[in-house]
Structure 1
Amino acid sequence: MGIQPRESQVIAGSQTLIKKVELVRFMIEALNSLDYKETAMCLERESGIHLHSQRVKLFMEQIIKGEWDESLSTLPSIESIDEKSVESASAAILQHKLSKACIEKNFAEVSNTLKNQIAPLCKNDKHLMARYLLNRSHSKESLGEIMPNLRNILSRQMIPERRLANLVDRALLDEKYTHIPSKTLQILKGHFDEVWFVQFSHNGKYLASSSRDYRVVIWEVNEATHEVSLMRVLRGHSKAVSYMSWSPDDTQLLTCGQNERVRRWNILSGELLREYFIWGTGTFSCTWTPKGDCVLAGLADHTIIVWSLEGKEMHRLEEPHVSSWTSDLAIKSNGVIITAFDLDSILLFGHEKRKLLEVEDGEVLTFCLSEDGDFLLVSLLNEEIQLWNIGLEQPVIVKTFEGHKRQKFIVRTCFGGKGQGFVASGSEDTQVYVWDRASGEIIRKLEGHSRTVTCVSWNPTNPSMLASASDDGTIRIWG
C-alpha cells in the first residue's frame, strides 16, 4: 500500500494549482459571506478543515475589540507567518492605533505609541517616522477598512473576503474575453468596389455582403473548419446596394439601395423571387415581419411600405413633416416597428404611433436592435454610440461608447460575442472598434483595412467570428 499524501498536500484542481485545503477554506469563507453559517460549520466539521487557525481567530478577535497591543503580541505566533508580513501588519495596526488616539485626543497614548512602538520600527528607516506623522491626521480607517487591509497582508493565514467569488468573477471574465476576435483569419475579395454592408444569417451559416459595384455576394461558413468561402453572386441591381435583411428562416434575402428597389432572393438557388417598389422614390432600408410573411421598406419620401410576399401593398405608414429620410428598420417580436424618421428621434409603429426616444446634442444615423429586443444601439452624427434600454416603460441610456471616427460616411455597429456582451463598430480610421458592453471600455482595435470600415457583423452562433466590410473593397473575417 502506497504512502497516503498529507491532507494539506492533496491536489484539488486538474492543473495542480490549488490544494484541497485551500479550496475547502475558500468554500467555507464563501458560505459565510453568503450568510449560510450552518452549512459552513457543517463543512468544517465534515472536512476537518477550519477557515482559520486558533491563533488567527484570536488575532481577529483582538483587532475587532481594538486590543491593539495584544494583537501585536499575537501576530508573530501565527502559523507560517514570515517576518515581512509581521512588519507590514504591525505597521498597519500601529497606524490605525495612532490615528484613533489622535481622533480621541488621547495625547498620552499618541506619545507612548510613537516613542515605544513606532520609533523602534523606524530606526532603520529615517523616512518612515515622517510618513507616520504625515499620515496620522489624514488616516481615519474604520475597523471595516483595516480588516481587509490585514487580510491582504496576511493572505496565507487569513482568507481574503469574497476570495472564491472574486476568483470565479475573474475566471468568467477571462473566458468572456478569450472569445473576442483579435486577428484577421481571412480576407474575402468578391467585390470590385466599396463594400457597404455585411450581415451574417441568423443561423451563422451564411454571410451576405453588398457593394457599390451593384453586386450581392453570398458566402458560406464551413461548420467544421469555420472557413468562409464564396457561395454565389446575386446580380440584378443597377445601382449600389447599401442594405440587406435575412428572412427568419435564412433561406431568403432582401436587398435594396438608396436609389434602388427592394429585391427578394432565394439564396440557395440564386433566383430573384420578387421586386418591390414605388415609382419615383428610392429605398433606404428593408426588413421582414417576424413570421417572414411580409416585407417592409423605408422609402426616401418618409414613408414605410408593407407588402405581402406577392407584392400587394398591405400598409403605408407616413410621417410627412420630418426633415430626414427613413433610416434603419427593425421589428420587435411583437410586431412593433422601430424606425428613425427624424434627425433626433426614433419612432415606434404598433397599435399606435409614438416617439420611442429622443437624443440630445446629436443626430441619428443608424441603429441596431439587440437579440432580445430590449436594447437599441444608436449611432449619432457626433461620433457617439448610445445604448438604450427600450424594454422599460420609459427608455433610458445605460451606456455610451466613444473612440471610433466618423466624419463623412455612415459606419454601422452591432452587438455580439458571448451573450451579446460586446459592441463593435466600423470607423473612418480603417479600424474595427470593440467595446465591453458593460463597462463601455474599448478592448480591441482591429487593424488591417486600408480605408473606412463601413459595417460590422458578429456571427450569432460563433462568438469568436466577426466580419467587417470596407471601402477598400474587401471583407475581413476576424477570430
Structure 2
Amino acid sequence: MNEICDGLAESASAQAPSQTLLSNFDEDQVPLPFSFASSSHITSPSNSSSSFPTDRSQTSGYHPRDEVDDYLQASDSESESRSPKRLRLEELTERQSTMRIENGVGGSTNGVSLNSNGDSQNATNGQALTNNRIQRARRQELVRLMVQAMQDMGYSQSAVTLEKESGFPLESAAVAKFRDGVLKGDWALVESLFPTLELDQNKDVVVVRFLIRQQKYLELLETRHIKKALIVLRNELAPLEYNSERLHSLSSFMMCSNADDLRRRAEWDGAKGTSRQKLLVEIQKYISPSIMVPEHRLETLLEQATTLQRISCLYHNSSEYISLYSDHVCDRSQFPSVTTHIFRHHSDEVWYVAFSNNGKFLASASRDKTAIIWSLETWDKVHVLSDHTDCVSFLSWSPDDTKILTCGQDNVLKLWNVESGDCLSTMKKHEEPVTACAWLPDGKWFISGSQDKNTYLWNLDGTTIHKWPGARIADLAINKEGTRMVAICHDNKLHIYDLITKKEEATMEENAKLTSICLSSDCRYALVNLSTKEIHLWDIDERRIVRKYLGQKQGKFVIRSCFGGIDQGFIVSGSEDSKIYVWHREHADLIETLSGHKGAVNSVNWSPVNPYMFASAGDDNTIRIWGPPGSADHNGKMKTP
C-alpha cells in the first residue's frame, strides 16, 4: 500500500510543473484556441490524439473478419457478449500487482502524461504564435508587392496611400537612397550605404563594389576624364583583387578613341542609356529580396502562376489568354484524337512521314522504294518520287520547302525539286544504307549519316565539304542556328558536334539501342527512342535526362517520336502494337492511346503550323491525319480548327 501511495505522490508532483507552465500564459497577450479556467481543462491521456488510425481498415494486415474474431474472443458466452464483462477477483489481484510495479518503478508515468499535455498545449500556443507571425509576414510581403506594382503601373498616389494605411513601406529610407544613388550615379553615397544592405562581407561586398566601381570607371572614360578613370582603375578596382580577366579588359578601354568606340567595345550603352538600371538589377542579385524587392516581382509571380496553370492542364493546346480568375482547364475535344483523313497510295510499309515547313504538304518514305509528296489542301498526291532502287527510309524538307532529300537502303542520297518532282542529283559517297539526312538553316548545305560509320557535309552541287568518321549513325538532327548537330549511333551514345569547328563537343551514353532523335523547337532538348520501350528527354546543355516516357511497345523496329501541340506540350510516339501513345511533356503522364493503324506505327510528325494536327505512318501502308473530334467534314477533309 505504501508503494501505491508513493507512486501517487510522484504522479501529483509531476503534474505540478504542467499547471505552473499553464499559469504563465497571459490570455490577453497570447491568442489561444481555448481559455484555461482551471487545470481541469487539461486533456486526459485517454482523450489525447493518437498517431494510430482510428479506422482499423487503415491498419496493415486488417481484414473485416478481424473485428468479428476479436468480439467473439472477448466473450465466454453469448450472454456475456451482450453486456460488459465482469472483472474477476484473480484479474483484479493481478492488476493491482501490475499497478504496484508500474508506479513503483515508473511512477512518473502519469506525471509524464500530464506534463505531455502541458507540453502539447504549449506547442499548440506556440504554433498559434508561429501562424500569426507567418500571416503578418505574408500580409507585409503582399502589401509591398502591391505597392511596387502600383508604382510600376503609374499609380504613385495609390501606392503612397497603401503604404500609409498598412504601415508597410516598400523599402527603407536607406534602401530608397541606395536605389536613387545608383540611378543618379552618386557612387560615394551608394558605397556609404552598404551596411544597410546586409551583404555578405566576405564575398558579396567585393563583387558589388567591383560592379559599382566598374560603372564609375566606364562613365569617366565616356566623358573623357581619363586621369580620373585611371585613378579609379588603379586605386579602387585593382585593390579588390577580383576578376583579373575583366580588369584587364577594362584597362584596354583606355585606348578607345571616343565615347562611341568605348560603348561599342565594352558592349555598354552609356550613362544616359540603360546601363545604370542594368547595374541595379545585377546588384540586386546579392541583396536579400526582403531588403530590396526584385523589380516587377508581382508580375513575375503572376507569370509563374499562369505557367503553372498551363503545365498542370493535361490537354493544354490553346493559345488563348489564361485568366487568373479561375483554374485553367482545356477540354479533351481540343486534342487531335481522331483520324480525319487516310492516304493509301503506298504499296508497302511506310517508314517515315514529315510535314513541310509551311504546313501545306506532307511527304512519306516507304519500303516500296518510293517517296510521295501529298497536298494538305487537295488531299491528294502531288508527286511520286520513284528513282530509288531499294527501300526509302528517311527524307528531309529544305528550309524553304523547294527541295527535298531522300535516302535509304540503296546507299544513296537524292535531291529533288518539289515543284516539278524531278531528281536534281544523286550522291553516292556512302557504302552502306543512308539512315538520316538534315539541312542547315541557310538551305545551301546538308548532312547525311550512314551505317558505314561516316557522316558527310554536302553542298547543293553534291560535293562533300567535310567528313566525320565514327560510329554507325542511326539518326541525326541539326539546331535552327546551324551551329550544332546531335547524332545517335549504334554505340548507344548521343554525339554532339560543333558545326563551326567541326569537332565533337560531347557524348552522352544510354543503356540501350537508340532508334530516333527529335530536337525541341528551342533546340535545347532531345527526344530519344530506345529499344527498351522507353523514350528519354535529354537536356543537351546540362547533359542529363530530365524525363522518361513509358508505355509504348518497341523492341524490333525503328520507332519514332516527336514533340507536339502548343508550346510542344505533348510527346507523341508510334509503337509496335499498332497504337499511338501521347504523354504530357512536363508530367510524363500517358494521356492518350490512339487506335486506327493495323500494324506497327513507325513514324509520327506534328504539323509545324497547326497545333491541332499530326500525321502517322505504319506497316499497314497508310498515312493517317489526326485532328480534334468534329474537325473533318463528311468527305474526310479537315475543317479549320
Task: Give the alignment's TM-score, normalised by structure 2.
Answer: 0.49
State yes or no: 1:260 paired with 2:193: no
State yes or no: 1:339 paired with 2:487: yes
For residue 359 of structure 1, the aligned residue among 509, 516, 525 is 509
Q: Which amino acid aligns with 1:220?
A: S
State yes or no: 1:215 paired with 2:370: yes
Q: Which amino acid aligns with 2:503?
A: K
Q: CA 1:347 to 1:298, structure 2 compared with 1: closer, same or farther past 3 Å?
A: same
Instruction: Report SS of the residue matched to 2:42.
Output: helix
| Deviation of the 1:179 alpha carbon | 3.5
| Deviation of the 1:334 alpha carbon | 3.7
Contact 1:414 1:458 in 2 (8 A): yes
Structure 2: tracts of 5 or more residues without a match? 1-26, 60-116, 133-301, 317-321, 323-327, 628-641
Contact 1:179 1:417 in 2 (8 A): no
Report the Cα distance in structure 1 between the residues aligned to 2:502 and 2:364, rounded to whole angstroms: 35
State yes or no: 1:110 paired with 2:43: yes
Match of 1:198 in 2: 353
For residue 330 of structure 1, the aligned residue among 468, 471, 477 is 477
More strand by share: 1
Match of 2:453 in 1: 302
Match of 2:595 in 1: 447
Q: Which amino acid aligns with 1:459?
A: S
Report the Cα distance in structure 1 between the residues aligned to 2:432 and 2:474, rounded to whole angstroms: 14
| Deviation of the 1:314 alpha carbon | 1.2
State yes or no: 1:405 paired with 2:553: yes
Contact 1:179 1:463 in 2 (8 A): no
Report the Cα distance in structure 2 between the residues aligned to 1:185 and 1:213, rounded to whole angstroms: 25
Report the Cα distance in structure 1 between the residues aligned to 2:366 and 2:358, rounded to whole angstroms: 23
Matches within 5 A, 1:402-441: 402-441=550-589
| Deviation of the 1:378 alpha carbon | 1.1
Report the Cα distance in structure 1 between the residues aligned to 2:364 and 2:604, rounded to whole angstroms: 11
| Deviation of the 1:144 alpha carbon | 11
Contact 1:336 1:348 in 2 (8 A): yes
| Deviation of the 1:174 alpha carbon | 2.6
Contact 2:518 2:561 in 1 (8 A): yes
Match of 1:369 in 2: 519
Q: Which amino acid aligns with 2:33?
A: W
Match of 1:37 in 2: none
Show CA shifts across 1:112-137 (max 9, x none).
Answer: 9969xx9xxxxxxxxxx967xx99x9
Report the Cα distance in structure 2 between the residues aligned to 1:406 and 1:113, rounded to whole angstroms: 59
Report the Cα distance in structure 2 between the residues aligned to 1:280 and 1:111, rounded to whole angstroms: 87
Contact 1:346 1:355 in 2 (8 A): no
For residue 246 of structure 1, the aligned residue among 387, 393, 397 is 397
Contact 2:435 2:473 in 1 (8 A): yes
| Deviation of the 1:305 alpha carbon | 1.3
| Deviation of the 1:416 alpha carbon | 0.9
Contact 2:409 2:432 in 1 (8 A): no
| Deviation of the 1:313 alpha carbon | 1.8
For residue 469 of structure 2, the aligned residue among 311, 318, 327 is 318
| Deviation of the 1:178 alpha carbon | 5.0
Match of 1:269 in 2: 420
Contact 2:430 2:454 in 1 (8 A): no
Q: CA 1:177 to 1:146, structure 2 compared with 1: closer, same or farther past 3 Å?
A: farther
| Deviation of the 1:182 alpha carbon | 1.0
Report the Cα distance in structure 1 between the residues aligned to 2:445 and 2:376, rounded to whole angstroms: 27
Show CA shifts across 1:187-246 (max 9, x none).
Answer: 111201100000111221111011111111111123xxxx74322222211111000111
Contact 2:497 2:506 in 1 (8 A): no
Matches within 5 A, 1:12-411: 66-69=31-34, 108-111=41-44, 174-175=329-330, 179-222=334-377, 228-278=379-429, 280-319=431-470, 322=471, 325-332=472-479, 333-350=481-498, 351-354=501-504, 356-390=506-540, 392=541, 394-411=542-559
Match of 1:471 in 2: 619
Q: CA 1:108 to 1:454, structure 2 compared with 1: closer, same or farther past 3 Å?
A: same
Show CA shifts across 1:75-113 (max 9, x none).
Answer: xxxxxxxxxxxxxxxxxxxxxx9xxxxxxxx88432499
Show CA shifts across 1:136-158 (max 9, x none).
Answer: x99x99669999xxxxxxxxxxx
More helix by share: 2
| Deviation of the 1:353 alpha carbon | 2.8
Q: CA 1:237 to 1:313, structure 2 compared with 1: closer, same or farther past 3 Å?
A: same
Report the Cα distance in structure 2 between the residues aligned to 1:145 and 1:429, rounded to whole angstroms: 57
Contact 1:176 1:418 in 2 (8 A): no
Q: CA 1:296 to 1:383, structure 2 compared with 1: closer, same or farther past 3 Å?
A: same
Q: CA 1:144 to 1:219, structure 2 compared with 1: closer, same or farther past 3 Å?
A: farther
Instruction: Report SS of the residue matched to 2:330.
Output: helix
Q: Which amino acid aligns with 2:410?
A: N
Larger Rg: 2
| Deviation of the 1:300 alpha carbon | 2.2
Contact 2:389 2:410 in 1 (8 A): no
Q: CA 1:442 to 1:146, structure 2 compared with 1: closer, same or farther past 3 Å?
A: farther
Contact 2:342 2:624 in 1 (8 A): yes
| Deviation of the 1:463 alpha carbon | 0.9
Report the Cα distance in structure 2 between the residues aligned to 1:145 and 1:407, rounded to whole angstroms: 57
Q: CA 1:366 to 1:356, structure 2 compared with 1: closer, same or farther past 3 Å?
A: farther
Percent of matched pairs sharing the same residue: 35
Contact 1:345 1:355 in 2 (8 A): no
Report the Cα distance in structure 2 between the residues aligned to 1:443 and 1:188, rounded to whole angstroms: 26
Report the Cα distance in structure 2 between the residues aligned to 1:438 and 1:279, rounded to whole angstroms: 40
Report the Cα distance in structure 2 between the residues aligned to 1:466 and 1:238, rounded to whole angstroms: 29
Q: CA 1:349 to 1:287, structure 2 compared with 1: closer, same or farther past 3 Å?
A: same
Report the Cα distance in structure 2 between the residues aligned to 1:198 and 1:422, rounded to whole angstroms: 18
Structure 1: tracts of 5 or more residues without a match? 1-61, 71-96, 98-105, 119-128, 148-161
Higher relative contact order (CA 8 A, sep 6+): 1
Report the Cα distance in structure 2 between the residues aligned to 1:334 and 1:355, rounded to whole angstroms: 15
Contact 2:517 2:527 in 1 (8 A): yes
Q: CA 1:206 to 1:168, structure 2 compared with 1: closer, same or farther past 3 Å?
A: same
| Deviation of the 1:360 alpha carbon | 3.8
Q: Which amino acid aligns with 1:273?
A: L
Report the Cα distance in structure 2 between the residues aligned to 1:107 and 1:228, rounded to whole angstroms: 85
Contact 1:260 1:283 in 2 (8 A): yes
Show CA shifts across 1:146-184 (max 9, x none).
Answer: 99xxxxxxxxxxxxxx9x958965685533855421111
Farther off after superposition, 186-195 or 277-286: 277-286
Q: CA 1:279 to 1:440, structure 2 compared with 1: closer, same or farther past 3 Å?
A: closer
Farther off after superposition, 350-359 or 422-431: 350-359
Contact 1:345 1:356 in 2 (8 A): no
Match of 1:42 in 2: none
Q: CA 1:229 to 1:362, structure 2 compared with 1: closer, same or farther past 3 Å?
A: same
